[in-house]
Structure 1
Amino acid sequence: MDLTTSSGVPGRATLRVDVRAAVAVVEDGVADDVPPVLRRLAAGVLLAGVGELRVLRLDEVPTRVHVRADETSATVAVEPLEALPYGLSRRELEVTTLLVAGLTNARIAERLAIGARTVGTHVDRVLSKLGVASRGAAAARALDEGLVVVPPPGGAGGFEQLRLGRALAAAERPPSGRPPVRAPRRRPLRVGALLPLTGAATADAREMEQGARLAIEEINAVGGVAGRPLELRAADVDPQDAATIDRGFEVLLAADVDVLTSGYLACQDLAHELAAGVGVPYLHAATSGVMERRAADDPGRYARVFQVCPSDVHYGPHFVDYLSGLRDRGAWRPDSRRLLAVRQPAWELVDLGLQQAAQHAADRGWELAVDAPTAGGWHAAGARAAADDPAAVMMGSYLVDDHVAFVEGFRGAGGAGLLYGIYAPSVPELRVRLGALADGILWATTTGTYPDRLGRAFAARYARRFGAVPGRSHAGIAYDRVHLVAGAWATTDFRDFAAVAGHLRRSVHRGVNGAYCFDAPGQTAQTWTGGAGDPSLAQAHLVHQIQGGRQRVVSPATYADGEFVLPAWVAGSPGRG
């Protein structure tokens, strides 16, 4: 098929064609705006049964081409571009196209009749412009966003197993006049997700759902796993209501899901028992030291239960350690030796490591007190904390509502200590609701999206897909979790739950939230705070500060993109009146 012959530069137009590339309907523009070669390509998509194809055509004016096929016809839409995507040059797009075929630099050089070193330079520029770290990631982005040139430079060799190659080959065959008989669609691989779609954690559920959907769409864009598409099945739960969690499991198991996932649940012990009872692999993000120890004590029963983030036991000790570091290097000069931790009273399985934190505090010259909201709730707890005048307060809740109420109560009562949250400020809703009151708040997460190349590229793709920037934790967890299980499915029989769990236990995956390694007792992701240990096998315990309405990672230094700034309301700061 000669895609280099054109009847002219196409304008914006949309046509529907049949298997003989004959125009059936002109939906937009005029028929002549879609060259015959692109009509034949659309017919090839129909004949090959590949469903959909996005490509670029580099004529005098570059053109975006989108083909979608149903049972009997294909729609081809062309749109001239004023500029090439991502600022890529024509040559860089040709190189990107050949990366999709999996060619080495030497093979690409042969195709393009240029030197291998020149190809290497082009590849480096492509990775930089796309914001990805590897050739494979560049290829996935190219397929997902249609950054593939037709005709492929040097011919269709190497593309035979891809949708483009199958469509090109089908377009070469004489049409029979009938659309192809399609094979039955293979059973999809189902990701089950317990999500708080209604109630206090709705904004968080949106992060979880969209992170998972983005991963599923990207995997499906390159053919799914072993030819099977992935799909998401969600069940609404209240994280604090055991009955809804029980019903949620029933809904997902009735949907015949192949893996179970969840965020944080107050009744995590119930979720563990339900998952262990049915044997379906379960990847949760409860951040629970209590459940980590339970799984470690009974590895046979919980062999298919994985905690995808480090445990909550690190929150309290690192609160003390981080503040001690600020004090010791002179970044903060507290007037008091008292620290306060306020914890969720109803979440019995949430540990926060407060007993260890108290010992850390004593060793470092602090006194740590622990409180919990009473009948007045988190707002009253904030006002009470302000009256006690501690040097700093840790807000030990995962919920945005609790943080907002506490901060408003604390600041409204004239509190002058540092405020240090856990997890909840990762959700963009918190900054929206608190407005200027959010500035200066410190917060930590045992698992957060890194501000590195992988994390920024993920955030950019998420924003393009959903029209909003992702939060700094659960969107990344959900995205990584899908890739984790997809990797296991790619090398095992998805119906063999023991084999899937075994792969998860043996493998290491570097995601946008750091590394996932489950070979320790309890099958829990490991933490790294910037000191001893191997960060390539762990997830960094990230400390952020909200500065000017933006999130900045201030610790550990390896992943920091900002430095601590003393908030204006804190005693001793230049801004406090």
Structure 2
Amino acid sequence: MDFNRRQFLLSSVATFAVASLSTPLLAADPIVIGVPTAKSGPVGVADQADWLNGVTMAVEEINAAGGVNGRPLETRVVDIDLLTPEGTVAAFQSLVEGGVQALAHSFAIIPQPAMDVAASNGVPYLNGNTSQASLDLIKSNPKYHNIFQIDVAETYYGAGFVKFLSNQKAAGWKPKNNRIHIVQEQIGYTQVISKATQAAIAATNGEWVQGPITDIQFPVQDWTPVIQAIKEADCGVIMIDHWVAAELASFAQAYVLDPTQGSLVYLQYGPSQPEFLDLAGEASEGFIWGSVIGVYADEKGNAFRKAYQEKYPGTMGMVYTGSGYDTIHILAEVWKTTDPKDFDAVGKAIKAIKYRGVCGTYTFATDTNSPISYPTMTDDADSAQAHLIFQVQDGAHKIISPASLKEADMRPAPWM
């Protein structure tokens, strides 16, 4: 183990050890972070809870170590209605008017109203929207200069997934045929992913071929017709382009009863939410899923996983837990050298930072104020966030790609 790696690991362990001590009394004025968090609703609640858990862990650790320049961090949490622009605006407006020094939000399903409220006074706003539309706004309008997306756009789900398939072939996997069947939900997020996947398939010049596209509508009451369409198409790869964990668990339970033999089945993102494993149970075995940001299984990532599960027992989310945690540490790092009330100075410091967190390396020195993705956008793993591909193996999520970060090789699923 070289010196830099040993030093990095020791500093990570020390951070978690300090956090276990009682938080010291910090007399200085707190630095307040606004954290909109959906407490109820049909979608997004698990992710928002994961984010808040990660945020809370980071705040407690930082305060246990003396805060930022002697000032404690404090979170101000408000409920948010993710499904209406009015609900989004109300949550963000209450925080901005309350004088928070930053906004940290897992994601807004309707991004622009949230961005407009943050831009109204320039408060730094870090989010995991995973939205090309958000990045287009940042790129085109300077009023959004203090808004930062902590991960890349959803388009990279498509490009990254097809790259993963090609890499698995190169590593020895033999698909039963080269056709890809896409089952797509109708919201903008999943439609963007579907179109990006179709474009990536076309760009392979015949290595992969577009199969049928089957539409579904949330909530999916009955997966039987979808599974029948999948069987009739008999494609080598099946992509379920839907992100709601409970519904993907329902699909998994139905699919394993009547599977398409030999097909690789990819469930887009949703299994990252704890309820997928909890609800799908043994039916989850063998399914593959991915996230453009997620908790690594290296020394730093595993130290975080261990500390998180000690604090929050049960099934752990693999995405927003770590990204929420990292976001607070990014803010704390830039506040060490800036006045938290000087929003533009803080924004410039975020723009310039290179921060290695539990979910990879965050950089924002792009025209979209967002990081870069490995291996789709760069071959340099140390400068980017890895697009992680997981497979459920023995009831747990295991990273199978990229090769430099994998915990296990891809296994044949029970139906393969």
TM-score, length basis structure 2: 0.90
SS in 2 for 1:401: helix
Q: Is the 8 A contact 2:322 2:359 kept in 1?
A: yes
Aligned counterparts of 1:349 and 1:499: Cα–Cα separation in 2: 36
Which stretches in structure 1 are left out of the alignment for 5+ residues? Answer: 1-122, 148-161, 164-181, 571-577
The corresponding residue for 1:301 is 143
Q: Does 1:370 align with 2:245?
A: no
1:456 aligns with 2:302: yes
SS at 2:256 equivalent: helix
CA distance in 2, matches of 1:419, 1:398: 14
Q: How does 1:140-155 map to 2 (within 5 A)?
A: 140-146=15-21
CA 346–333 in structure 1, closer or farther in 2 if over 3 Å, else same: closer
The alignment status of 1:322 with 2:170, answered yes or no, reads no
1:83-134, Cα deviation, whole Å (9 max, x unpaired): xxxxxxxxxxxxxxxxxxxxxxxxxxxxxxxxxxxxxxxx99xx98xxx835
Change in Cα spacing, 1:415 to 1:252, as seen in structure 2 (3 Å) is farther
Supply the distance in 1 between the matched residues of 2:108 and 2:247 (Cα, whole angstroms): 16
Deviations, residues 527-571 of structure 1 (Å, cap 9, x unaligned): 00278432222101111111110111111111011000011113x
- Matching residue of 1:543: 389
Instruction: Kindly provide the CA deviation profile for residues 160-198 of structure 1, in whole angstroms up to 9, marking residues without a partner as x.
Output: xx97xxxxxxxxxxxxxxxxxx9x943211111122221
Q: Structure 1 residues 365 and 420, CA, compared in 2 at 3 Å: closer, same or farther?
A: closer
Instruction: Say if 2:391 and 2:400, in contact at 8 Å, map to a contact too.
Output: yes
SS at match of 2:112: helix
Q: Percent identity?
A: 26
Change in CA separation of 1:265 and 1:498 when aligned onto 2, cut-off 3 Å: same
Report the Cα distance in structure 2 between the residues aligned to 1:445 and 1:140, rounded to whole angstroms: 26
Question: Residue 331 of structure 1 aligns to a residue in which SS?
Answer: coil
Q: What is the aligned partner in structure 1 of residue 125 from structure 2? A: 282
Match of 2:186 in 1: 345
Structure 2 unaligned blocks of 5 or more = none
Secondary structure (helix, strand or coil) at the match of 1:533 reads coil
User: Measured at CA, do residues 222 and 269 of structure 1 come closer, stay the same or move farther in structure 2, by a change above 3 Å?
Assistant: same
Give the equivalent residue in structure 2 for 1:389: 234
> CA–CA distance in 2 between the matches of 1:376 and 1:260?
31
CA distance in 1, matches of 2:113, 2:292: 23
Contact 1:317 1:360 in 2 (8 A): no
**Is the aligned partner of 1:267 residue 2:110?**
yes
1:510 to 336, 356, 376: 356
State how far apart, in whole Å, the 2-side matches of 1:211 and 1:275 are. 22
Q: How does 1:156-167 map to 2 (within 5 A)?
A: none
Alignment CA distance shift 1:238-1:408 (3 Å): farther
3-state DSSP class of the match of 2:77? strand
Measure the CA separation in 2 of the matches of 1:376 and 1:231: 37
- How many Å separate the matches in 2 of 1:482 and 1:457? 17
From the CA coordinates, give the structure whose radius of gyration is larger. 1
**CA distance change for structure 1 residues 412 and 361 in 2, over 3 Å: closer, same or farther?**
farther
Per the alignment, residue 173 of structure 2 pairs with 331
Structure 2 residue aligned with 1:481? 327
Runs of 4+ in structure 1 over 4 Å off: none
Deviation at 1:374, TM superposition (A): 3.7
Alignment-derived partner of residue 3 in structure 1: none
Contact 1:189 1:231 in 2 (8 A): yes
The residue type equivalent to 1:500 in the other structure is: V
- Of 422-431 and 446-455, deviating more is 422-431
Whether the 8 Å CA contact 1:321–1:360 is kept in 2: the answer is no
Q: Aligned-pair distance for 1:446?
A: 0.2
SS of corresponding position for 2:251: helix
Q: Tell me, in whole angstroms, the C-alpha distance in 2 between the residues paired with 1:512 and 1:375.
A: 32
Question: How many residues align structurally?
Answer: 410
The alignment partner of 2:183 has SS state of: strand
Q: 1:328 to 1:234 in 2, by over 3 A?
A: same
Residue correspondence of structure 1 range 200-219 to structure 2 within 5 A: 200-219=43-62
Matched, 1:556 2:402: yes
* 1:346 maps to amino acid: I
Corresponding position of 1:357:
200
Tell me how far 1:494 sits from its aligned partner.
0.3
Work out the CA distance in 2 between the residues paired with 1:548 and 1:463.
18
The answer (yes or no) to whether the contact 1:266–1:349 under 8 Å persists in 2 is no
The alpha carbon displacement at 1:424 in A equals 1.6
Question: Do the aligned partners of residues 342 and 262 (structure 1) sit closer, same or farther apart at CA in structure 2, a change above 3 Å counting?
Answer: farther
Measure how far apart 1:136 and its partner are: 4.1
Change (3 A) 1:296 1:274: same
Bigger mean CA offset, 457-466 vs 353-362 = 353-362
Give the residue type in structure 2 aligned to 1:509. Answer: Y
- Name the CA shift for 1:361/1:403 in 2 (closer, same or farther; >3 Å): farther
Q: Distance in 2 between matches of 1:500 and 1:278?
A: 13
Q: Offset of 1:365 from its aligned partner?
A: 3.5
- Does residue 1:424 correspond to 2:273, yes or no? no
Distance 1:482 1:526, change over 3 A: same
Cα offset, 1:333, TM superposition: 2.9
- 1:511 & 1:348 partners in 2: Cα distance? 26
Alpha-carbon distance between aligned partners in 2 of 1:489 and 1:325, rounded to the nearest angstrom: 41
Counterpart of 2:67?
Answer: 224
Aligned to 1:38: none
Q: SS where residue 278 of structure 1 aligns?
A: coil
Letter in 1 for 2:52: E
Q: 1:526 aligns with which of 365, 369, 372?
A: 372
The separation in 2 between residues aligned to 1:146 and 1:249, in whole angstroms, is 33
Measure, in 2, the Cα distance between the counterparts of 1:286 and 1:554. Answer: 25
Distance 1:400 1:469, change over 3 A: closer
**In structure 2, do the counterparts of structure 1 residues 449 and 378 end up closer, same or farther at CA, with 3 Å as the change threshold?**
farther
With a CA cutoff of 8 Å and minimum separation of 6, indicate the structure with the bigger relative contact order. Answer: 2
Q: Deviation at 1:488?
A: 1.2
- 1:400 equivalent to 2:245? Answer yes
- AA in 1 matched with 2:312: F
2:32 and 2:100 in contact (8 A); partners too:
yes
CA contact (8 A) 2:179 2:208 kept: no
Q: Using the alignment, how far apart are the partners of 1:269 and 1:393 within structure 2? A: 32
Cα separation, 1, equivalents of 2:190 and 2:219: 23
Find the residue that maps to 2:310 and give its secondary structure: helix
